Amino acid sequence: MSSLLAFLNDPMVTIALHLLGIFIVALLVNRFLGMMTSLLIRPATSQARAEQLRAQHTQALAGVAYGVGSKVVWVIALLTALGQVGISPLPALVVLGLCGIAVGFGAQSLVRDVISGFYIVLEDLFVTGDSVQIGETTGRVELLTLRRTVLRDARGALVTIANGEIRMVANLSRDWSQSFVDIGLAAEIALEKPLAALESAAAELRGDTSWAQTIVDGPRVLGVQSYDRNATVVRLQVRTAPTRQDEVSRELRRRIQIEFQKQGIPLASVLRLELSNPQSLATANPQSASPQ
């Protein structure tokens, strides 16, 4: 028993036990960190591409969080171990502090972009494949990382946006999209026949099985949107599957045109004449310029 106590009281053995304890604590903290970061992962609930991408993004985010946290744990364990073997960790702390300050000043925008990327993924604002509007740019998300978002806009151009620059996002690919179709009617005609024709065209599109998977609600006639001496504008509303509103609107306009032509209903026709130089026109035609 005395020999065991003497062995344990040996300074070298004490240092070794302390180092072993630091190593075990670091391992346990890393294991706990892994369990906590795994909570960030959102498993895919279906085989849909958006769900698979969402799961991949959260898994990548959890991997980055675990990697950073694990490095911090091992650095702290190493500094603690230095103190146990008689080496002061103060110089190392000073060096690390200076490096942190230098990196903080030199990479402020990068840190801001990465933090914003974390929020985008954690709050599920959008994923690769979604159609979004970010500021003045509208397009399809081609690539999403913690640092940047790449959109393919209507011109076909790839637009790269730093995540730290994103202040407002409109996701056009969630749940449903909506479109309004305005039809201008001749102001002098009664509305009963045109409204009936619009209802007929809308009902025909609603009942078309080939469009059943695309249309969520409507089309429905909302009524008169505006009225003046030139035209009466009647508005229709339709809700569609995400990003399908344009093609449904085009099909609805086509059917309305066919129905109006079938029933002989006139549309509004306004003739506009712009004079680029009224003075020269009056000089060329003095009779029209002089009073009768």
Rounded to whole angstroms, the Cα distance separating 278 from 268 reads: 27
The residue-averaged pLDDT of 227-246 equals 89
Is the distance from CB of 6 to CB of 46 less than 8 angstroms?
A: no
**Confidence bin at 45 (pLDDT 50/70/90):** low
What is the identity of the amino acid at 188? Answer: E
Residue 106 has pLDDT above 70, yes or no: no
> Which pLDDT belongs to residue 5?
52
Higher pLDDT, 256 or 218: 256
SS3 category, 73: helix
Q: Which residues pair with 231 in a beta bridge?
A: 186
Reported as a single tens digit per residue, the pLDDT across 152-185 is 988 989 999 999 899 889 988 888 888 999 999 9
φ, ψ (nearest 5 deg) of residue 112: -65, -40
Looking from the CA of 19 toward its CB, the CA atoms found within 13 Å total 13
Do 263 and 185 touch, CB atoms closer than 8 A?
Answer: no
> Could you please report the per-residue DSSP string of 139-152?
EEEEEE-SSEEEEE
Range in 24-33, 206-215, 234-243, 279-288 with the lowest mean pLDDT = 279-288
pLDDT of residue 281: 42
Which pLDDT belongs to residue 276? 47
Q: How is residue 216 written in tokens?
A: 């969520």
- Which range scores top for mean pLDDT: 94-98, 104-108, 214-218? 214-218
Better-scored residue on pLDDT, 99 or 168 = 168
Give the architecture-level CATH label for domain 177-263.
2-Layer Sandwich (3.30)
- Tell which residue, 226, 224, 230, has the closest CA to residue 269: 230
pLDDT at residue 49 in the model:
59
Q: Are 205 and 237 spatial neighbours (Cβ–Cβ below 8 Å)?
A: no
Domain ranges of the chain: 2-106, 123-171, 177-263
What class, spelled out in words, does domain 123-171 have in CATH? mainly beta
190 vs 207: CA distance, rounded Å: 27
Q: What is the mean pLDDT of the chain?
A: 79
Distance, CA of 128 to CA of 141 (rounded, Å)? 5
**Tens-place pLDDT, residues 62-84:** 777 777 788 788 888 887 877 77
Q: Is the pLDDT of residue 230 over 90?
A: no
Question: What is the layout of strands, in order, in the sheet containing 177-186?
Answer: 177-186, 231-240, 215-227
Dihedral Cα 155, 171, 119, 158, nearest 10 deg: -10
Record the pTM: 0.57
pLDDT band at 273 (very low <50, low <70, confident <90, very high): very low
Average confidence (pLDDT) over 44-49 = 62
Amino acid at 180: F
Between 159 and 277, residue with greater pLDDT = 159
Cβ–Cβ under 8 Å, residues 109 and 164: yes
Residue type, position 183, single letter: I
Tell me the pLDDT band of 272, cut-offs 50, 70 and 90. very low
pLDDT tens figures, 107-160: 678 888 888 888 888 888 888 888 899 988 999 999 888 889 999 988 989 999
The token pair that represents 76 in the structure block? 């702290």
Say if residues 53 and 127 touch (Cβ distance below 8 Å): yes
Report the percentage of the chain scoring pLDDT > 90: 25
* Residue 240 exposed, middle or buried by CB count within 10 Å (0-12, 13-18, 19+): buried
Q: Which is higher by pLDDT, 6 or 70?
A: 70
